[in-house]
Amino acid sequence: MKYGSLNLKMKFVCGQCWRNGQVNEPDRNKKYCSAKARHPWTKDRRVVLVMSNERKKWMTIRPLPTKKQVPLQFDLCNHIASGKKCQYDGNCSFAHSPEEREMWTYMKENSSK
């Protein structure tokens, strides 16, 4: 699905299946995922995946950081930018991929959380 002015393909998948290395979208009625396990299809169990034309790889998008003051622009996490794993213990408020930065910016500008 092309989304607004984003240059990303986007889809929702089952978070439980995704953690197990599977990509399962919802069934026709959007009540369960399409896996044999039929995990409930609820907002807290879904994962947003995006794919850019450059990378051709599905990337997870974490929820927008919940700060009182939303930054004017989102920056890439320094650890990630230098090719390392993020060292932050909590929810890092810096984007972990260019795709996540683009999606967060879009979400902020269109006030969707």
pLDDT digits (tens, 9 = 90+) for 7-23: 889 999 999 999 999 99
What's the structural domain count of the chain?
2
Task: Establish how many alpha carbons lie within 13 A of residue 104's alpha carbon, considering only the half-sphere containing its beta carbon.
Answer: 23
Percent with pLDDT over 70 in the chain: 93
| Domain identity same for 56 and 18 | yes
What residue type is assigned to position 76 of the chain?
Answer: L
Domain that holds residue 33: 1-61
Q: What tokens were used for 16?
A: 């439980």
pLDDT digits (tens, 9 = 90+) for 60-92: 999 888 776 777 889 999 999 999 999 998 889
Above 70 in pLDDT, residue 113?
no
| Domain identity same for 55 and 73 | no
- This prediction has a pTM of 0.78
Q: What tokens were used for 76?
A: 């890439």
Beta strands in 1-113 (DSSP E): 8-14, 46-52, 59-61
